[in-house]
Amino acid sequence: MKAYHIHTAGDEPKLVDLPMPAPAAGEIRLRITACGLNFADLLMIKGKYQDTPAAPFTMGMEVAGVVDAHGEGVTEPAIGTRVALFSGQGGLAEYGCFPANRAIPLPDNISDVDAAGFQIAYGTSHLALDYKARLQPGETLLVLGAAGGVGLTAVEIGKAMGARVIACARGADKLEIAKAYGADHLIDAKTEDIREVVKSLGGADVVYDPVGGEQFTAAFRATNPDGRLLAIGFASGEVPPIPANHMLVKNLTVIGMYWGGYLKFKPKALTDSMATLFGWLSEGRIKPHVSETYPLDRVAEGLTLLRERKSTGKVVITI
């Protein structure tokens, strides 16, 4: 089978031929049809992601596909069932073996591409805004990187939860996408002062930040007393300093949020969140924005879009 593989730590990944895997006890084998790309994939290549597997490994963190075989002790989902699951690794391949208890059967009205590009981005935003920040109807949510893979989902979910959403992104084209997904106010990070604009709009009660760097600092200074700031990631490449004295005076809370970590210490929080989200998706309440799809032999092009921050919404590899 073909797989996008890292043979030795530090090497660039390559499309290679590997033996067909056999499912172990508790696993299913999937004939993979689609795999979502994530900023974390870029960090894995450099060995800088917090859950980078030991080499050799096949990349690809979230997949959709058809159950092809069962490992010992597994009877469900049945062979032939379309499912989505968080793989963590192994998704950028024609076949892969994954824990059966992670598989979510897909209704006919959810496509493989939407399902593969849905889990991490929507899961991160929903768990962050609902479970972690306790976003309330009528509160003001500031979303940084609002047209990116996770940022756009935060805009959409924030609106679904009844918040007033301020979307911040770089350039008018990206802001138009955020507006289409429900943003009430727009800030162009290229030309506008984030702090001043947010303060002029009454300040932020919750900040969703996958960017870090100077944008976090500006948002921190525009957060209302008793506000919550979600540290989702650092796409800018800068981890911002956090002034604890200002946190104290304004009663602010800075919340770290790593979605995948919940698989290890509180998986029910993830499964409950995903059940809600797949229900919303099936009902049409949310609609993933997949900006680009590429075949397996063009993964590098998809990763380049993420690296250069040129994508909007999600990039998905079809297999």
SS3 content of the chain, % helix, strand, coil (to 5): 35, 25, 40
> Across-strand partners of 62?
36, 86
| Residues of the chain above pLDDT 90, percent | 73
Each residue's pLDDT tens digit, 161-201: 999 999 999 999 999 999 999 999 999 999 999 999 999 99
Residues contacting residue 109 through CB under 8 Å, at least 6 positions apart: 282
Residue 137 is classified by DSSP as: T
What pTM does this model have? 0.84
pLDDT of residue 2: 97
Q: 26 with 71, same domain? A: yes
Domain that holds residue 32: 2-118+288-318
Residues 36 and 103 in one domain: yes
Residues 176 and 75 in one domain: no
- CA angle, residues 314, 233, 128, in degrees to nearest 5: 80
Q: Report yes or no on 282 lying in a domain.
A: no
Q: What is the CATH number of the domain that holds 88?
A: 3.90.180.10
Question: How many beta carbons lie within 10 A of that of residue 27, not counting itself?
Answer: 23
pLDDT of residue 282: 86
pLDDT of 313 reads 75
Q: Is pLDDT of 135 > 80? A: yes
- Same domain for 306 and 246: no
Confirm whether 271 is domain-assigned: no
| Same-domain check for residues 145 and 80 | no
Would residue 268 count as lying in a domain? no
The token pair at 282 is: 């099936």
Contacting residues for 190 by C-beta, under 8 A, at least 6 apart: 170, 171
Q: Does the structure show a pLDDT above 80 at 312?
A: no
254 and 126 both lie in a single domain: yes
**Amino acid letter for position 266:** K
User: Model confidence at 151, in pLDDT bands (50, 70, 90)?
Assistant: very high
Which tokens go with 285?
């309440």
Provide the residue type at 125 as one letter: S
Higher pLDDT, 234 or 29: 29
- Does residue 170 lie within any of the structural domains? yes
Q: Number of structural domains, the chain?
A: 2
- Would 283 be classed as within a structural domain? no
For residue 99, what pLDDT band results from cuts at 50, 70 and 90? very high
Is pLDDT at 264 greater than 90 in this prediction? Answer: no
